[in-house]
Chains A and B, each alone.
Chain A
Amino acid sequence: MSVRLLVLIPAAAAISLALSAAVDAVALPLFLDTTGTVLATALAGPGAGIATGVVTSAVNTLRNPTFWPFVVVQIIVALYAWLAARAGLFRSLKTAVPAGLGLGVLAAATSTPISYVVFGCTTTGGIALTTALGRALGLPPLGACFFGSFVADFGDKAVTFALVTSVLHALPRRTAARFPWALRAVGIAGSAGPA
């Protein structure tokens, strides 16, 4: 692995964790904590993406001990983003947002069993509250749990994909050309393939 890709991984992980400051400023119910994972995947392939997801979870665990079981979700996100990048779905917002919504469903389906088995569905205040709402609406426990995760993930992943698409398009070509998959992800043919 080149030193540049090695540097990209912790930088992307730190992006995932620092974006909460921007989210707080606009008061939206988002996490964006997989942004770095999606970005690293789109720029440098699935290996970099998975590594970013694992590092993000490890560092996040130091601040909130309940995060580490969700490393599985980070890995699923990296693999999904890899397929999306190969399919050219970061080419425009029109393709990226639906792809992000799809990831939202997948991420919710992944985090539900973890949340259910490990936490009894009580992860983070917002999700627990929507889960309680699901229970109040008469859903069975597992169904309410999925409902809670789904509400949290659905919009979050769509915004994540939209943000990564914006970044890829705003990146100057001279910078983008230094990452092996960046140009291909936005649909510009050329230097594809690991450097």
Chain B
Amino acid sequence: MSRRHPFTLLALVAALTALAWILPAPAGGLGTAAAALALAAAAGPRRVLVPALVTAAPFWLFLLLLHDVPSTIAIGLRLTTMIASVVWVGALLPPGRLVEAMVAAGWGVTAAYLFAAALSAVPLLKARAQRIVDAQRCRGLSPRGGLGRRLRALRALALPLVLSVLHEVDERALALETRGFVPGARRTPLAPPRDGTGERAARWLLLVACGAALAWRIAWRG
């Protein structure tokens, strides 16, 4: 499955999630949840299936707390479908491959850049935030005290982080400019993922299936 084109994987996730809501509960949700969990299990019971179940578990708990049993099952199966399929695609699809697919599909570099740059910046910024927290702790920051003290402490942590990022915006822009980056321009995809006719057909099929299910559901209800 991991060799499939990124768009096919995403289409599958979108279709499963959409069908979970479109098809009548609980049978529809049972089917989509089973499919999503099967995909997760096939990708790796420990690496994918367990994290998916762990993420879904608290929702079931709170659903039981807030709703009766039939609604709990209906909503829970939908959520399980959504969570399991997104966890599955997250484990199967390296971001670099998705970026390549976007570039190869002629989306221009803008969308690919926005996604990839945010993704790669988050861990770096989190590490920086942690360094600021550690530094302020050395200077006596304490997570205790009243609301006012905590808010002031939060400001002392957040402000340097945000300002450092804004200061770097200019240097990053200069670096991109000097390397020939032009928003909206097409660039050479370095390793375009293979996209066969079969996969393209499969994506259309998924779309048609969702549309048909929706039409059937509306007609059946009305």
Contacts and interface: CB of A to CB of B under 8 A. Distances in A.
Given A21-B129, A62-B119, A167 B86 contact: no
Interface string B39-76: 00000000000000001001100110111000110010
Interface stretch (B27-35, B154-162, B207-215): B154-162
A163 B159 CA distance: 8
Nearest to A58: B115
Contacts of A23: 154
B130 interface: yes
Nearest to B168: A11
Contacts of B62: 121-122, 125, 128, 131-132
B113 A26 contact: no
Contacts of B126: 17-18, 20-21
Interface stretch (A2-10, A70-78, A80-88, A100-108): A2-10
Contacts of B143: 25-27
A146 to B, nearest CB: 13
A62 B121 contact: no
Contact of A22 (B55, B90, B158): B158
Contact of A15 (B55, B161, B167): B161
Interface stretch (B1-9, B176-184, B188-196, B198-206): B176-184
A189 interface: no
Nearest to A124: B58
A10 B117 contact: yes
Contacts, number: 190
A64 interface: yes
Contacts of B155: 163, 166
Interface string A151-178: 0000000010001001100110001001
B173 interface: yes
By secondary structure, the A interface counts as helix
Q: Give the bracket for the number of chain A residues in contact with chain B.
A: 35 or more
Contacts of A39: 162
A3 B177 contact: yes
A21 B130 contact: yes
Contacts of B138: none
B163 A64 contact: no
B90 A62 contact: yes
A132 B61 CA distance: 12
Nearest to A132: B65
Nearest to A12: B165
B219 interface: no
A137 B124 CA distance: 43
Contacts of A92: none
Interface of A: 1-4, 6-15, 17-23, 25-28, 30, 32, 35, 39, 43, 51, 55-56, 58-59, 61-62, 64-66, 68, 118-122, 125, 128, 131-132, 135, 141, 144, 159, 163, 166-167, 170-171, 175, 178
20 contacts: A7-B172, A7-B176, A10-B121, A11-B168, A11-B172, A12-B165, A13-B121, A14-B122, A14-B124, A15-B125, A17-B125, A18-B122, A18-B161, A22-B129, A26-B151, A62-B119, A120-B72, A131-B66, A167-B166, A178-B170
The 6 closest A-B pairs by CB, nearest first: A65-B86, A18-B125, A10-B118, A10-B117, A14-B121, A21-B129
